[in-house]
Amino acid sequence: MLEVVDTIEALRGRVADHRRSTGSIGFVPTMGALHAGHASLIERARRKSGIVVVSIFVNPLQFDRADDLERYPRPLDADVELCRRLGVALVFAPSVAEMYPVKPEFLVQVGRLANHLCGKHRPGHFEGVATVVLKLFEIVRPDEAYFGEKDAQQLAVVRRMVTDFNVPVRIVGVPTVREPDGLAMSSRNVRLNAAERPLATSLYTALRKVAADVQAGATSAPAITGQEATLIPADERLRLEDLELVDPDDFQPVETVTDPVIAAGALWVGNTRLIDNVRCTPRARS
Amino acid sequence: MLEVVDTIEALRGRVADHRRSTGSIGFVPTMGALHAGHASLIERARRKSGIVVVSIFVNPLQFDRADDLERYPRPLDADVELCRRLGVALVFAPSVAEMYPVKPEFLVQVGRLANHLCGKHRPGHFEGVATVVLKLFEIVRPDEAYFGEKDAQQLAVVRRMVTDFNVPVRIVGVPTVREPDGLAMSSRNVRLNAAERPLATSLYTALRKVAADVQAGATSAPAITGQEATLIPADERLRLEDLELVDPDDFQPVETVTDPVIAAGALWVGNTRLIDNVRCTPRARS
Is residue A222 located within the same domain as residue A199? Answer: yes
At residue A256's C-alpha, the angle toward residues A254 and A258, to 5°, is: 100
User: In which domain, by residue range, is A24 found?
Assistant: 3-174
- pLDDT value at residue B215: 95
Cα(A257)–Cα(A229) distance, integer angstroms: 22
Kindly tell me if the per-residue pLDDT of B17 is higher than 80: yes
How far from chain centre, in Å, is Cα B13? 28
Interface contact A109-B108, CB threshold 8 A: yes
CA distance B15 to chain A (A): 13
Across B197-207, average pLDDT:
97
CB A89 within 8 A of CB A109: no
What are the C-alpha distances in Å from A67 to residues A60, A141, A238?
A: 11, 32, 20
Interface with chain A: mutation pick from B99, B164, B167, B247, highest number of A CBs within 10 Å: B164
Please report the pLDDT score of residue A54 as a whole number. 98
Is it the case that residue B286 has pLDDT exceeding 60?
no
Residue A121 has what pLDDT? Answer: 87
Give the model's confidence band at B119: pLDDT under 50 very low, under 70 low, under 90 confident, else very high.
Answer: confident
Shortest CB distance from A166 goes to which of B110, B135, B163? B135
- End position of a domain, from candidates B152, B174, B196: B174
Beta bridge partners of A109: B107
* Cα-Cα-Cα-Cα dihedral sign, residues A255, A257, A262, A265: positive
- Determine the residue type at A37: G
Are B213 and B160 contained in the same domain? Answer: no
Select from A107, A113, A135, A165 the residue whose CB has the most chain B CBs within 10 Å, as the one to mutate to test that interface.
A165
Kindly report, residue by residue over B211-259, the tens digit of the pLDDT.
999 999 999 999 999 887 789 999 999 999 999 999 999 999 999 999 9
Inside any domain, residue B182: no
B248 by DSSP, 3-state: which? Answer: coil
Contact A243, A228 (CB under 8 A): yes
Shared domain check, A193 and A103: no
Q: Are A250 and A242 in contact (CB under 8 A)?
A: no
pLDDT value of residue A286? 53
pLDDT of B202 over the 90 cut:
yes
Looking at the fold, whether B112 and B250 belong to one and the same domain comes out as no
ipTM: 0.94
Q: Tell me how many degrees the CA angle B71-B73-B78 measures, rounded to the nearest 5.
A: 165
Q: How far apart are CA A174 and CA A38, in angstroms?
A: 10
How many angstroms from the chain centroid is the CA of residue A118? 11
Distance of residue A51 Cα from the nearest chain B Cα, in angstroms: 21
Tell me, yes or no, whether B43 and B162 share the same domain: yes
Give the end of a domain, one of B123, B147, B174. B174
Q: Is-contact B72 B187, C-beta < 8 A?
A: yes
Alpha-carbon distance A259 to A219, whole Å? 10
Residues A149 and A197 in one domain: no
* Strand, coil or helix: B48: helix
Report yes or no: B104 at the A interface, CB cutoff 8 Å.
yes
CATH number at residue A219: 3.30.1300.10
Minimal CA separation from A185 to chain B, in Å: 29
Angstrom distance (rounded) from CA B223 to CA B226: 5
Report the pLDDT value the prediction gives residue A89, as an integer from 0 to 100: 96
User: Within a domain: residue A156?
Assistant: yes
Q: What is the helix (H) or strand (E) element at residue A260, kind and residue range?
A: none
Closest CA to B143 of B51, B78, B67, B56: B51
Which residues, including other chains, have CB under 8 Å from residue A43's CB and lie 6 or more apart?
A86
pLDDT tens digit sequence for A82-127: 999 999 999 999 999 999 999 999 999 999 999 888 888 888 999 9
Tell me, yes or no, if A165 comes closer than 8 A to chain B by beta carbon: yes
Q: Tell whether A232 is covered by a domain.
A: yes
Which pLDDT tens digit goes with each residue over B63-104?
989 999 999 999 999 999 999 999 999 999 999 999 999 999
* Average pLDDT, integer, range B260-285: 93
pLDDT of residue B37 exceeding 90, the answer is yes
- The answer on A45 and A158 residing in a single domain is yes
What secondary structure letter does DSSP report for B12?
A: H
> What CATH code is carried by the domain that includes residue B161?
3.40.50.620
Domain shared by A65 and A144, yes or no: yes
Where chain A has pLDDT below 50, the residues are: none
pTM: 0.95
CB-CB: which of B106, B138, B139 is closest to A109? B106
On whether both A118 and A204 belong to a single domain, the answer is no
Contact A105 B108 (CB under 8 A): no
Domain count for chain B: 2
DSSP for A129-173? HHHHHHHHHHHH--SEEEEETTSHHHHHHHHHHHHHTT---EEEE
For residues B125 and B207, state if they share a domain.
Answer: no
Q: Verify whether the Cβ–Cβ distance B109 to A112 is below 8 Å.
A: no
B168 contacts A104? CB cut-off 8 A: no
Give the whole-angstrom CA distance, residue B272 versus residue B241.
Answer: 12
User: Taking CB atoms and an 8 Å limit, are A105 and B104 in contact across chains?
Assistant: no
Verify that A32 and A122 share a domain, yes or no: yes
Residues A157 and A192 in one domain: no
